[in-house]
Structure 1
Amino acid sequence: MPTEARTLGGLCADRPRRFPSHRAGTRANMSPQAMGEFVDELEELGYVVRRPDPTDRRAKLITLTSKGQACIAAGIATIDGIEQQLTARLGERGHAQLRSLLAKLLEDG
């Protein structure tokens, strides 16, 4: 579920924590249909709500709920803990090298 987690995290990246769903789909490299289904699921689970966009009657804005914000905070705390463990085991330089190598792998597809 990496794409879904990244998409939910993307909702947190923009202020005021909302943006049109088609923009979220573009960021996640998802089709509009897949994005709509995913947002439906997030809404059913209570992580987001959809509201009309006051500037565009055709669009909906997706807003994180407090449950969605708590999910993001828990994810960030988990990642921070992993980062600290990596630094403790590899040292600052080794951790930086690992990040660089992983980024290269992601770039290469």
Structure 2
Amino acid sequence: MGRINSVFKLPVELRQKLNTQLRDNNFSDYVYLESWLKDEGFFVSKSAIFRYAQSNRLEILGLNEDEGYESSLPDMRARCLESAIAINHDGDIESVLKDADRFLKWIYLG
């Protein structure tokens, strides 16, 4: 049996902050996250953070696999639309909707 990912050894509050950082940075910049956790007093490798992020992506995004994707779809669609409007505020509605759809596919399909 494999070892427990060191991210799970973090205090719950810090792991919640890490989840927020992962969402805000679109699951990227693992070097920064490793450094940030070190500044907080915990050594967690960027590889461990990456493995944690990949295997817990739905939970980090606030989706619950037990309830199924469909239960969170309306909320996630709204979030994607808000994001698309924020980055494409001068575009027409078709380009905003296309961007929102692209974001949604990225979330569910990776």
Is this a same-fold pair by TM over 0.5?
no
Question: Which structure shows the higher strand fraction?
Answer: 1
* TM-score normalised by structure 2 residue count: 0.34
Q: Which structure exhibits the higher relative contact order, with contacts defined as CA atoms closer than 8 Å and separated by 6 or more residues?
A: 1
